Amino acid sequence: MLNFTSTTTLMTNITSIMSNQTPSLDELLDQLGFKMWETVLNTFILSPINLIGILLCSFSLWIFSRPSFEDPIFFYYKLLCFVNIIHLIHNIPECFLFSPYYFPMMNNFATSIFKIYYGLISTILFHYEDVLQMAILLHRMKLFIPFVRKNFKAEPQLISLALFFTCLLIDLPLAFSFKINSLGDYFYTNSKDVEQTMSFYFPISSNFSQTLFGQILIGLTSFFLNYFLTLLVGVVLSIVSYIKYKRFSSQKQREFEQLQMSSINNRPTTSRELEQQRQRERAEQQIERNMFRMSFTLCTISILSRILFIMCYFCFFIFNSFSNSLIITMVVNSIFTLVPTVSTFIFYLFNQMFRDETRKKLFDFQKNS
């Protein structure tokens, strides 16, 4: 997570704020760099989108739980939908708590505790979503790459469990990267027109993250192993899978044509039989192609989101200020919201069984209503 600014920068802002009399909440937020459009976007736009995403991912999980989705690869899809739901549920309070502008009476210390928790859990969940998408692509690559088929034999349940603990181990140091500090006091008028004074707490970089060991550990785990290595592996898998699949598809087409010629030479074949054979082959190729495109698209979206994360990471350190960290937080929240939400549309676009089950359920719903 990149939504926390450095201790030095914040302390400068705090000193400047506290040198004046106690400001109102609006004045304090303005001095810290909170913009109204950022608050509106997080509170009133991203929050409903997260709710829509929860409904869509729940529907996808329900569809993938149907008996027709018995192939082992669909375990990954069901697990991905479940993880997306958990992630989107966490996003809703985070978006509401982006700024206390609309909730001046809330306990900012408790809010800061949640922000630190959210920073850890959302990083783990998004990392896990990415590696699950890579596992889906690897599972498809077993069809046309003998090396993957030979070395990727474990059951999806075991692979998923191992990947989760790997992500947890990589991202766990992030829990020690932040501490809670007061950014100043503010006053507001409650519902009884009585003026109340509260302290505004916010997570900032911890003392541990400022030490040489802490910087090396967090840089190695959060940036290199999480952001960079995940991006690198995703890019390599995507390129290799695309090249190998094209070769596999061309080879399979040639084999089919040779089989057709052999059948024609060895026995009389009616035009009807030949056309039926071609239709079956085209249908099988279309299913394989769509399954590959679905896994490839998910992995591509993961790559693009990782690129945005790395750009945010560099922007955070190059343009280090509290107001810039809020913009980066908004970008990160948008990624955490949109990427899980669009997964249902990808399933519907590329998977014929998913479309058939969806249309069937919608037809049954309309019929019953």
Placement of tokens 């082992």 in the chain: 72
pLDDT of residue 253: 74
Rounded CA separation 147/141 (Å): 9
- 275 pLDDT higher than 70: no
pLDDT of residue 46: 96
- 325 pLDDT higher than 90: no
pTM as predicted = 0.89
Q: Work out the average pLDDT over 130-156.
A: 91
Rounded CA separation 133/127 (Å): 10
Rounded CA separation 306/227 (Å): 6
How does the average pLDDT of the chain come out, rounded? Answer: 87
- 4 pLDDT higher than 50: no
**Band of pLDDT at residue 272, cut at 50, 70 and 90:** low
Q: Work out the average pLDDT over 213-232.
A: 92
Rounded CA separation 246/207 (Å): 52
- 273 pLDDT higher than 70: no
7-368 to CATH, choices 3.40.1180.10, 1.20.1070.10, 3.30.70.360, 1.10.3210.50: 1.20.1070.10
Give the whole-number percent of the chain exceeding pLDDT 90.
Answer: 58
Domain ranges of the chain: 7-368
Lowest mean pLDDT among 42-56, 323-337, 355-369: 355-369
Lowest mean pLDDT among 77-86, 139-148, 284-293: 284-293
- Using left for φ > 0, alpha for ψ between -120 and 50, and beta otherwise, residue 33 falls in left
pLDDT of residue 250: 83
Q: What angle do CA 93, 97, 103 make, to 5 degrees?
A: 120
pLDDT of residue 254: 76
- 170 pLDDT higher than 70: yes
Placement of tokens 């998923």 in the chain: 160
pLDDT tens-place string over residues 111-123: 999 999 999 999 9
pLDDT of residue 3: 44
- 322 pLDDT higher than 90: no
